[in-house]
Structure 1
Amino acid sequence: MKKVLMLLANGVEPMEMAAFTDILGWADLVGDEKIELVMAGLREEITSTFGLVIRPNRQLADLDLNAFDALALPGGFEPSGFYEEALSEPFLETIRHFVEADKIVASVCVSSLCLGRAGVLHDRHATVYHQVGGRRKQQLVETGATFVDQPVVRDGKLITSTGPGTASEVAFLLVEMLTNANNAARLREKMRFPTPSEAWFTTPQVPAA
């Protein structure tokens, strides 16, 4: 059995969280190998970006991080207070623990900024939600990362992505890395998820002027 910790900050985006919840849940139910997902946060109740109230299974402080095989990090919105917890030392120290232990860290959208702030992206390829003006891109680059304008970027055991629409692809890649490619492909078929086109994986987020 594999065990995944999904770390939730107040202000998390529900779709990004749900991609991990559903795809890892299906993998546990019908996949080649059991995958247990544990949701944890810094508080008993979390209010998501759009007002959905979530009660994590566990509190981060109560967990033995050595018991987990991977870390999943959905992103969120600044106006909802996401960065107040997502960039806090308990979150950053958790990221460092998984990276130092050579375990998978799968992040969606702006949660790659958490990896950068934790100091684990120096000279690594990564991406982030990138809009006109490039504020988030600049924040990522300032942490020492090499920005790649692709929807999902894998550098070793680190996965970063660009937005809520990439969350399912991050979750499938996580399943593949935890188990095997055939298992992830069969899971995609059972869940009726199409495979994105080659162009989807290479089209820049912000078209050139």
Structure 2
Amino acid sequence: MDSPQVLTGKRVAVLVADGVEQAELVTPVAALKAAGAEVAVIALRPGRIRAMHVHQSADLLRVDRTIGDAVAADFDALLVPGGYISPDLLRQSGPARDFLRQIHALGQPIALMSQAVLLLVSCGLAGGRTLTAWPGVRDDVVNAGATWRNQDVVCDGKLLTSRGPQDTAALVQALIPFFAGAPPLDTHAATQAPPQSDPPQEEPSETPGQPLRWLSAPSVGAMLSLALLGVGVVAANRGMRKKRADDSGAEAAPAADTTH
């Protein structure tokens, strides 16, 4: 059964840069389009950007327009996928920061995934908010005056945040009604006591290490073959240098005197 087109007529900007986490871009964009939204992928440069699977290079993905051609008032919502590289590039871009600030000033909903919360920090909009984010940037979020929750998804007013690529499904489930304008359902507990951030993790999250463990280690035979190849190349180079030296010596030697 097809999902209802609850986002028909909605225009969603998706702000990315090279190094974006591919699952956090492709999966939500597909869900938004399936729900009827008109989606524009906006990047710092035209053409295609390189996506990532955590630490590994992924696909080249085409963008729709550059940040210089994007007008905040043209959009009803903003999604910023995460990744180790893309949010860092976006937070260094003045036009990208201005675009997010303008969307925020218009009162439009904003969703930020994993490390993308750092863009909110660089825009000076994280203070006093309750957010989740990739655990590795927890201290950046707290030092910016926000409360960090170690949860898959957190909604605080017009801000929806997710923790990491492992939580993409939970983010997408919350994203559609969030962008559709449903009344915000704050997922952080409301208490009379001042909010406190969850403690930092004691061990790194598993997600980044998993793809690295999938890479096969070279076998002893392969290493030996490479070593023998290297020895062969060195020997060949030495032989060629010796031959050139011998040829040069022969050409320089004077002809033998055959007269008597």
Q: TM-score, normalised by structure 2?
A: 0.62
Asked if 1:47 is matched to 2:50, the reply is yes
List aligned pairs for 1:189-208, cutoff 5 A: 206=201
Q: Give the number of equivalent residue pairs.
A: 175
- Determine the C-alpha separation between the residues in 1 that align with 2:144 and 2:30: 32
Counterpart of 2:150, as a letter, is: D
Q: How far does residue 25 in structure 1 lie from its aligned partner after superposition?
A: 1.6
1:85 to 74, 80, 90: 90
Q: How far does residue 65 in structure 1 lie from its aligned partner after superposition?
A: 1.3
Q: How far does residue 97 in structure 1 lie from its aligned partner after superposition?
A: 0.9
Deviations 1:149-173 (A, max 9, x none): 2111110010111101222322332
Aligned CA RMSD, in angstroms, stands at 2.2
Counterpart of 2:39, as a letter, is: L
SS at 1:37 equivalent: strand
Q: How far does residue 61 in structure 1 lie from its aligned partner after superposition?
A: 1.1
Deviations 1:15-50 (A, max 9, x none): 00012211112111xxxxxx1111110112211122
Q: Which has the higher contact order (CA 8 A, sep 6+)?
A: 1
- Determine the C-alpha separation between the residues in 2 that align with 1:136 and 1:168: 21
1:62 to 65, 69, 91: 69
1:104 to 109, 133, 142: 109
Aligned to 2:80: 73
- Determine the C-alpha separation between the residues in 2 that align with 1:82 and 1:176: 25
Deviations 1:160-192 (A, max 9, x none): 1110122232233221023266xxxxxxxxxxx
For structure 1, the 5+ residue unaligned runs are 29-34, 182-203
For structure 2, the 5+ residue unaligned runs are 1-8, 183-198, 204-260
Aligned to 1:24: 32
SS at 2:40 equivalent: strand
Larger Rg: 2
Q: TM-score, normalised by structure 1?
A: 0.76
Deviations 1:66-95 (A, max 9, x none): 0101000000124xx651234422221111
SS at 2:128 equivalent: coil
- Determine the C-alpha separation between the residues in 2 that align with 1:47 and 1:3: 24
Aligned to 2:140: 139
Aligned to 1:197: none
How many percent identity over aligned positions? 29
Change (3 A) 1:40 1:23: same
Conservation of the 8 A alpha-carbon contact between 2:153 and 2:170: yes
